[in-house]
Structure 1
Amino acid sequence: MSGILYVTGTPIGNLSDLSPRAVETLESVDFIAAEDTRVTLKLLNHFGIKKPMVSYFEHNKRERGEIICARIEQGENCAIVTDAGMPCISDPGEDLVKLCEERGIKTVVIPGPSAVISALAVSGLSTGRFTFEGFLSVNKKSRSDHLKSLANEHRTMIFYEAPHKLPQTLRDLYASFGDRKLTIVREITKIHEEVIRTTTKNAAENLSDGSVKGEIVLVLEGAPQIDDTEEFTLEYAVETAKKLIENGARATDAAKEAAALTGFKKNEIYKELI
Structure 2
Amino acid sequence: MGPGDGAEPKGSPWARGSKPSAGLYLVATPIGNLGDITLRALDVLGHADLVACEDTRVTGKLMQLLGLKAPLSPYHDHNADKARPALLARLRKGEVVALVSDAGTPMVSDPGFKLVRDCIESDIPVTALPGASAVLTALQLSGIAAERFLFAGFLPSKGAARRAALQELAQVPATMVFYESPHRTGESLADMVTVLGDRMGAVTRELTKLHEEVARGSLAQLAQRYADTPPRGEVAIVVSGPGAGGPVTQADMEGRLRAEIEKGLSVKDASALVAAETGHPRRDVYAKALRLFRGGNEE
2:213 paired with 1:213: no
Q: Secondary structure at the match of 1:125?
A: coil
Post-superposition offset of 1:127: 1.0
Post-superposition offset of 1:213: 1.2
Q: Residue in 2 aligned with 1:134?
A: 153
Task: Pick from 159, 163, 168 the counterpart of residue 187 of structure 2.
Answer: 168
- The answer on whether the counterparts of 1:154 and 1:225 sit within 8 Å (CA) in structure 2 is no
Q: Residue in 2 aligned with 1:94?
A: 113
Mapped to 2, the partners of 1:94 and 1:210 lie a distance apart of: 36
Calculate the TM-score normalised by the size of structure 2.
0.73
Task: Pick from 55, 65, 73 the counterpart of residue 74 of structure 2.
Answer: 55
- The answer on whether the counterparts of 1:34 and 1:80 sit within 8 Å (CA) in structure 2 is yes
Mapped to 1, the partners of 2:29 and 2:224 lie a distance apart of: 36
Q: Which has the higher contact order (CA 8 A, sep 6+)?
A: 1
Q: Residue in 2 aligned with 1:158?
A: 177
Task: Pick from 14, 23, 26 the counterpart of residue 4 of structure 1.
Answer: 23
RMSD, aligned α-carbons: 1.7
2:219 paired with 1:200: yes
Mapped to 2, the partners of 1:163 and 1:56 lie a distance apart of: 26
Unaligned ranges ≥5, structure 1 = 228-235, 237-274
Mapped to 1, the partners of 2:218 and 2:157 lie a distance apart of: 23
Query: Structure 1 counterpart of 2:44, which letter?
Result: T
Task: Pick from 33, 44, 61 the counterpart of residue 25 of structure 1.
Answer: 44
| TM-aligned CA distance change 1:210 to 1:67, over 3 Å | farther
Post-superposition offset of 1:140: 4.3
| TM-aligned CA distance change 1:104 to 1:190, over 3 Å | same
Judge which range, 191-200 or 96-105, deviates more: 96-105
Q: Secondary structure at the match of 2:32?
A: coil
Q: Residue in 1 aligned with 2:33?
A: 14
Post-superposition offset of 1:178: 1.7
Post-superposition offset of 1:226: 4.7
- The answer on whether the counterparts of 2:215 and 2:222 sit within 8 Å (CA) in structure 1 is no
Unaligned ranges ≥5, structure 2 = 1-20, 247-251, 253-299
Query: Structure 2 counterpart of 1:58, which letter?
Result: D
Post-superposition offset of 1:58: 0.6
- The answer on whether the counterparts of 1:179 and 1:200 sit within 8 Å (CA) in structure 2 is yes
Calculate the TM-score normalised by the size of structure 1.
0.79
Mapped to 1, the partners of 2:149 and 2:45 lie a distance apart of: 32
Mapped to 2, the partners of 1:101 and 1:141 lie a distance apart of: 39
Mapped to 2, the partners of 1:200 and 1:139 lie a distance apart of: 19
Mapped to 1, the partners of 2:230 and 2:53 lie a distance apart of: 32
Post-superposition offset of 1:141: 4.6
Q: Residue in 2 aligned with 1:145?
A: 164
Q: Residue in 2 aligned with 1:243?
A: none
Query: Structure 1 counterpart of 2:87, which letter?
Result: I
- The answer on whether the counterparts of 1:163 and 1:210 sit within 8 Å (CA) in structure 2 is no
Judge which range, 167-176 or 132-141, deviates more: 132-141
Identity %: 41
Q: Residue in 2 aligned with 1:71?
A: 90
Mapped to 1, the partners of 2:93 and 2:118 lie a distance apart of: 15
Q: Secondary structure at the match of 2:91?
A: helix
Task: Pick from 62, 76, 101 the counterpart of residue 82 of structure 1.
Answer: 101
| Number of residues of Structure 1 aligned to a counterpart in Structure 2 | 227
Post-superposition offset of 1:161: 0.6
Post-superposition offset of 1:202: 1.1
2:134 paired with 1:112: no
2:241 paired with 1:222: yes
Q: Residue in 2 aligned with 1:177?
A: 196
Post-superposition offset of 1:164: 1.9
- The answer on whether the counterparts of 1:158 and 1:218 sit within 8 Å (CA) in structure 2 is yes
Q: Residue in 1 aligned with 2:273?
A: none
